[in-house]
A and B are shown apart, each in its own frame.
Chain A
Amino acid sequence: MKITVDEEKCCGAGQCVLIAPEVFDQRDEDGIVVVLEPEPPHDQHALTREAAAVCPAAAIQVRHTP
């Protein structure tokens, strides 16, 4: 699994950090998303997908890698 985020779209709602704090963080200055684990380990996949699905700005893309 590979994650990319669109910083331009991100509105800093922090949903992803509340759901998957091991994968996402927010910048201190403006709350914009920071990806901690661009290729998250298996046990984080479900939470990562959930974070992407509910992002209010649809700023998180999850790609599946074989």
Chain B
Amino acid sequence: MAALRPPMAAIADQLLDEMTGRGNSGDLKAHFAFPLPVYVICDMLGVPAEDRDRFSYWSDNYLSLTRYSAQERQTAVGELVAYMSGHIAAKRAEPTDDLLSTLIEESSGEGEALTDAELLGTGIGLLVAGHETTANMIGKMVAMLLADRTRWERLLENPSLVRSTVEEALRFDANGGFGLRRYLTEDVEIGGEVLPNGTTVVCALAAANRDETAFENAAEMDVTRTPNPHLAFGAGPHSCLGQALARTELQVALEVLLRRLPSLELDIPATDLERLEGLLVGGLSEVPVRW
């Protein structure tokens, strides 16, 4: 992850160059938060820069339940599958220094080569699992910090708080999405009630992350909170596979924003920020800012 930081920061810088080149205000979601994670995943998969924006479109389609028509979704998924299949074939023929090539080479070296279908699943899985989640979280994190600008100012004074701030933004976010599903393999008592073996339960992440018995002053956003055992990435052996990547992206995004745009502020009252509807993961539809 440490090795990924410089290229990630370069992508973030480049996006901000483009955004600030257009004027003194704009939508941070569209110009920064949304493209950053796709570009990072494209780099990891060895997808060339000129194809990144098509990737974002496909990925957005994949996870949108309502924004696009069923027809549009089907076309986008078809195009993504076709593109990735071609990309995998190209990597098989001519491996380069990226994740797919590494998977192809190392798995065949171990005598249990991954099939094209498995590689396709991995590539598309990384894209759809890692895009909207991280993009929305960058947007929500910046909005939370600017909604009470003393938080932003505190970070400007002390950028070493970036790491704990990222964790606190993850905890504080009440818009995390549907929640964790778990299938019980034994009777479990929760809140005085016994749930029998074989029950499927959903854990409301946002409620767990505001649990007063787990977090002191749970309703306050405290950018210095440590340790911060929040559940934003789930828990246990199936907790988020991409959490190290997501954390690194969130930290780099925040560091670069603080360095490049210290004067950043919301361009509309925080209460007017609109929630994004119809996505599997929760977020804000726009984060209008000026600098």
B48 within 8 A of A: no
> Which of under 10, 10 to 19, 20 to 34, or 35 or more describes the interface residues of B?
20 to 34
Verify if A36 is at the interface (C-beta below 8 Å from B): no
Q: Which of B87-95, B233-241, B256-264, B283-291 forms part of the interface with chain A?
A: B233-241
Beyond A14-B1, A21-B2, whether A54 also contacts B239 by CB under 8 A is no
Nearest-Cβ distance from residue A60 to partner chain B, whole angstroms: 12
A56-B236, A57-B237 as given contacts; A14 in contact with B227, CB under 8 Å? no
B227 touches A13 (CB 8 A): no
Is there an interface contact between A50 and B239, defined as CB atoms closer than 8 Å? no
Cβ contact of B247, chosen from A18, A50, A57, cutoff 8 A: A18
Given contacts A11-B237, A56-B235, contact A50 B226 (CB under 8 A): yes
Interface size class of A (residues with CB under 8 A): 10 to 19
Interface of B is mostly: loop
Are B239 and A13 in contact, CB atoms less than 8 angstroms apart? yes
Measured CA separation A37–B251 after assembly (Å): 26
In the complex, A15 Cα to B247 Cα: how many Å?
9
- Report yes or no: B237 in contact with A14, Cβ–Cβ below 8 A: no
Q: Mark B244-277, 1 if CB is under 8 A from A, else 0.
A: 1001100000000000000000000000000000
Indicate if the CB atoms of B239 and A18 lie closer than 8 Å: no
- Chain B positions within 8 Å of A49 at CB level: 227
Q: List 24 A-B contacts (CB under 8 A).
A: A9-B237, A11-B239, A13-B233, A13-B239, A13-B241, A13-B243, A13-B244, A14-B243, A17-B1, A18-B244, A18-B248, A19-B163, A49-B227, A53-B227, A53-B229, A54-B227, A54-B228, A56-B233, A56-B235, A56-B236, A56-B243, A57-B236, A57-B237, A57-B239
Known pairs A13-B241, A57-B237 / 10 extra A-B pairs, C-beta < 8 Å: A11-B239, A14-B1, A14-B244, A15-B247, A18-B247, A49-B227, A50-B227, A53-B227, A54-B167, A54-B227
